[in-house]
Amino acid sequence: MGANPGRAQRLYQTIGAVRTGIIILLIVGIVSAAGTVILQRPLTSPEDMERAYSPQVLRILDGTGLTDVYHVWWYLALLALLAISIICASVERWPNAWKFYSQPYRRTDAAFRAVLPLRTSLPVTDAAQALAAAERVWKRHGLKPERTVEREEVALYAEKSRCAVLAVYVVHASLLLIMLGGVTDSIWGYKGYVALVPGEPAISQIELRDNTVRRLPFALRCDEAGQENYTGQFSMMPKRWWSKLTVLENGREVEHKEIAVNDPLVYRGVRFYQSGYGTSSELRKTRLAVLRPEDSATPEAFKLAVNQTVQLRDGASVTMVKFISDAFPMDNDLYQRSKDLNNAAIKLEVTRNGNTQPVFLFRTEEAAPGDLTLTGPYDAQGNPVTQVPYRFLASLDLAPFTGLQVSHEPGQWAVWAGCLLLAAGLILSFWVLHQRYWAVAVQDKEGRLVLWLGAASNKKREAFEEHFQRIAKEIETELM
Amino acid sequence: MAISTTQLNAAEPQPPARKGTALVATVILVAVFLFFMGFLNVVKSGHLLSESNLLFASLIFYAAAAALYIGFGISGLERHVRVASLMVILGWVFNTLAVGHRWYAAGHPPFASVYEMLLCFVWTLALLTQLAERKYGIRLIGSVTMPIAVTGVVLMQLLPSDVHPLVPALQSTWLHVHVTLAMLAYSACALSFALAMMFLIKDGLNTDTFLAVTSGFVSVIYGALLVTRFEKWGGLNVVAWDYARREEIFLERGVRLFVTIPDLGWLFMLTFAAVAAPLVLYVIGQARHQSNLILGANRAFFVGILMQVIALVAFITRSQSGGYPSAMAEGVYPTSMAASPFILSGIIAGIFAFLLYLMLHWRRGDLERLLPDTNVLDRVTYKTVGIAFPLLTLMIATGAYWANRTWGSYWSWDPKETWALITWLVYAGYLHMRITRGWRGRRAAYFAIIGFAVVMFTFFGVTYLLPGLHAYA
């Protein structure tokens, strides 16, 4: 019966020991470092993973969880162990700290006077006068002296920044608070992305980072979006992306906001951040210019839509067959590889004298998002076509999209509160000095009346010693 | 019985200490000469107070300070350290003017590129050097911090210095606060490293141990260089440089074009062997208790310096001339020193480290005389970490807050974030060992040195060796 509490007590003490904490810190550090060197799963594509590691190595890495080390169960267990260690260490030491904080030792009994390391004695003639002088000097140094009476002996006591004693507990408690916030977010929070095309109807589904879809309890619509570039020589650099967003609940517009980078929309705890602006693969308008190089006539310009045919001056006709946003060539034709805008191309059919010839136009450069220029004629492989005596220039208007990062982080308030508390705790810990001063008029060993002065601080011993000696000197001068 | 090199050195007659005036006069003459050259250039170009001129002025002053601090380390003469101090202050004034000029020209605080960050880092380092000297009386600290400052300014001269307006993600006040805190924190860590090294010198750590550590450190630099850039036929891969646009050549967004300088890889391989040789000889000598091997390690040191200088000259000349083929694209492309700023600064840092060891090797007695008591050094190291740690904490917190405002996520286990956290954990470990376990002296000094090694990896290794979100810093 007696053995069990002993073992539990020892386990409790081992977990709360500083050495345990440091060992856990070290392991967390090493594992975190490994996570930066070993490719991690959600961010790295499976093809890159297979290219970097051999199948056996990849199996070992996946099996041990090293490919998603920051979310694997044993890493989280380590962090939990760290939290438990901090809790045990704090709880174990708290009672003493609280006693020290709440019951300051004001007395100046003989035993205390003999043991305190930082002390000095000034010979005086009148006890009351000596104490009054000490009080004045202390007040000048920003201390608030209090008189304590014990068995008709009057003593002085002053203290500064007692809260610094508890700073350590504040620091560790704030670390726990931050971890709590992080855990809350990993369980109840989510992060995702949504691309809205301005003017299109509202959506209420977002794609999360782990590739699942989440429904929001409201809908979001983008009315307008744009990009501002810098002026002058930096006109190619984006200065600002903005979007005018509207939130709808049950079909009713409840909120409007124009967001920009670093200025998100927050609605019901869900935040929408302006993260980018670009060209989607949705074709709106096509302007086609046809030029015959051998005659110096001006080019013919047309507005075209897909499957529309236009007649040229010389009787030939041109049909826009299709627009491919991400083209790859196969069997002398172009096919769509993905819905992204990667390698834009247009297929035209030119009919002259009864013969139909397919030609392709490819991208030359992108002037600004939403504006695309294609030239030709080329074949599907990109080689110039000489059978048609025209040169084509197509200017495409693609719908822009605005990219928004979505996040819901209910635990972030705990994290920010924890950070502020941590900063306060560290400043208290390192830069605020807990100072205590005592003064009492007593008779020394030879029976003479002296003013005994003592002081203590929790750090910066040398500087504090000098400070104390200076105060003692001032009191001495005061008494003369 | 085996004798160590320290005993051998003590037995030899020490050459007479140099006269104070001679060194000061030489340094001032060289500085005046450089200023005169700069002035001629200014007259030609017409801009007097341009940013590069201000930076050039501060470079001259920092270099003069570095030379005089090292001279002080050797001679111990009062005049050296006083003029060195003055040089640091003058250099810092010009540095401040350069920062102000940059801020004004760019319209935003200088935090948008590596060039600008180095500008601020060097400024902070000079400030902290003066603070450590005046407040704590550690006058030798300039001999470590000023060479670092000089390396920083030299590196800056090579980096593209065009003023770029900020892309939307960088336009936040929180980012500027975060970067300021980072610069302050890292400078404080650098200072604690210098102090810990000085503690070990004063505490009597064997000179041979310093030999092994210096050799090991520079071997890591060359090792990392070779691992990332050695091309299998003996060439060295470097980024191609577009001289017209004064920027790196990109194949597509985020993908740099690498060219191969033939045979340079073999030279660097040889240099790696030369800088690692002292460490290898030391380890074998210690294991077999053969002191002549350790003597050999000291001799091998000179070969190491020679090879590094050859590597530096070869790198500079070959990177500035001609075109080189690429495995990634057809054709021949030029490169430049400016395309490989980190390789260059790595080589220069290696040479500096070896030179500092030589200073220790030849003048250890004088150095120990000039350094304050071990207790003082130990205490000030702790104080410096006590300044660095809260700053590191605030740096991480403000970085997280900025990331949250910009990308909606305050912590995404990005390599840079993770390594910043690891740095924080190491210094937390230092503080715990010191406060609660009473670790003082040598063990505390080792911990502080490891902490700074992690800081350097966070700043250089993450950008250079691990790709990630933080590609711009």
How many alpha carbons fall within 13 Å on the CB side of residue B19? 4
At what angle are helices B441-456 and B173-202 packed, to 10 degrees? 140
Burial class (CB in 10 A: 0-12, 13-18, 19+), B11: exposed
Q: What is the mean pLDDT of residues B50-63?
A: 83
Q: What is the mean pLDDT of residues B407-421?
A: 87
Q: Tell me the shortest Cα–Cα distance from A146 to chain B, in angstroms.
A: 32
Buried b (16+ CB within 10 A) or exposed e, B345-358: bbbbbbbbbbebbe
pLDDT digits (tens, 9 = 90+) for B92-106: 999 999 888 888 887
Which residues in chain A have Cβ-Cβ distances shorter than 8 Å to B462? 36
The residue assigned the tokens 């946003």 is A325
pLDDT digits (tens, 9 = 90+) for A132-172: 888 999 998 888 888 888 777 888 999 988 888 899 999 99
State how far the Cα of B392 lies from the Cα of B384, in Å rounded to an integer: 12
Q: Is the pLDDT of residue A116 over 70?
A: yes
Cα-Cα-Cα-Cα torsion B44, B45, B47, B52, nearest 10 degrees, comes to -110
Q: Do residues A167 and A425 make contact, with C-beta atoms less than 8 angstroms apart?
A: yes
Six-digit token pair at B51? 């940013």
Query: Could you tell me which residues come within 8 angstroms of residue A308 by beta carbon, excluding any fewer than 6 positions away?
Result: A319, A320
Which residues in chain A have Cβ-Cβ distances shorter than 8 Å to B164? 234, 237
CB pair distance less than 8 Å for A36 and B418: yes
CB pair distance less than 8 Å for B168 and A416: no
Q: Is the pLDDT of residue B267 over 70?
A: yes
pTM: 0.79
Q: Tell me the shortest Cα–Cα distance from A407 to chain B, in angstroms.
A: 6
> What pLDDT band is residue A175 in, cutting at 50, 70 and 90?
very high
State how far the Cα of A216 lies from the Cα of B64, in Å rounded to an integer: 64
> What pLDDT band is residue B469 in, cutting at 50, 70 and 90?
very low
At B322 the pLDDT is: 81
Q: Is the pLDDT of residue A369 over 60?
A: no
Q: Tell me the shortest Cα–Cα distance from B153 to chain A, in angstroms.
A: 27
At A415 the pLDDT is: 94
Q: Do residues A148 and A155 make contact, with C-beta atoms less than 8 angstroms apart?
A: yes
- Closest partner residue to A405 among B167, B408, B422, by Cβ? B408
Residue A251 Cα to chain centre, angstroms:
34
At A213 the pLDDT is: 84
Cα-Cα-Cα-Cα torsion B263, B265, B268, B269, nearest 10 degrees, comes to -110
State how far the Cα of B84 lies from the Cα of B370, in Å rounded to an integer: 15
Angle CA B77–B82–B88, to nearest 5: 130
At B112 the pLDDT is: 67
At A84 the pLDDT is: 93
At B1 the pLDDT is: 45
Q: Is the pLDDT of residue A330 over 50?
A: yes
Q: Does A234 touch chain B (CB under 8 A)?
A: yes
- Closest partner residue to A239 among B165, B386, B407, by Cβ? B165
At B45 the pLDDT is: 64
At B395 the pLDDT is: 94
Q: Per CATH, which fold does A104-161+433-479 belong to?
A: TATA-Binding Protein (3.30.310)
Pick the more confident residue, B44 or B300.
B300
At B48 the pLDDT is: 66
Sign, Cα dihedral of B129, B130, B135, B136: positive
Q: Which of B395, B410, B360 is nearest to B179 (CA)?
A: B395
CB contacts under 8 A, A 409-438 vs B, are 409, 412, 415-416, 419, 422-423, 426-427, 430-431
Q: Is the pLDDT of residue B313 over 70?
A: yes
Q: Which of B154-163, B201-210, B307-316 has the lowest mean pLDDT?
A: B154-163
The residue assigned the tokens 């191309």 is A345
At B460 the pLDDT is: 76
Average pLDDT of chain B, as a whole number? 82
At what angle are helices B264-288 and B291-319 packed, to 10 degrees? 170
Q: Which of A333-342, B171-180, B317-326 has the lowest mean pLDDT?
A: B171-180
Q: What is the mean pLDDT of residues B109-134?
A: 81
Q: What is the mean pLDDT of residues A230-244?
A: 76
At A368 the pLDDT is: 56
Q: Give ipTM to 2 decimals.
A: 0.76
Residue in B247, B422, B423, B459 to test binding to A, most A beta-carbons within 10 Å: B422
Q: Tell me the shortest Cα–Cα distance from A428 to chain B, in angstroms.
A: 10
Q: Tell me the shortest Cα–Cα distance from A263 to chain B, in angstroms.
A: 7
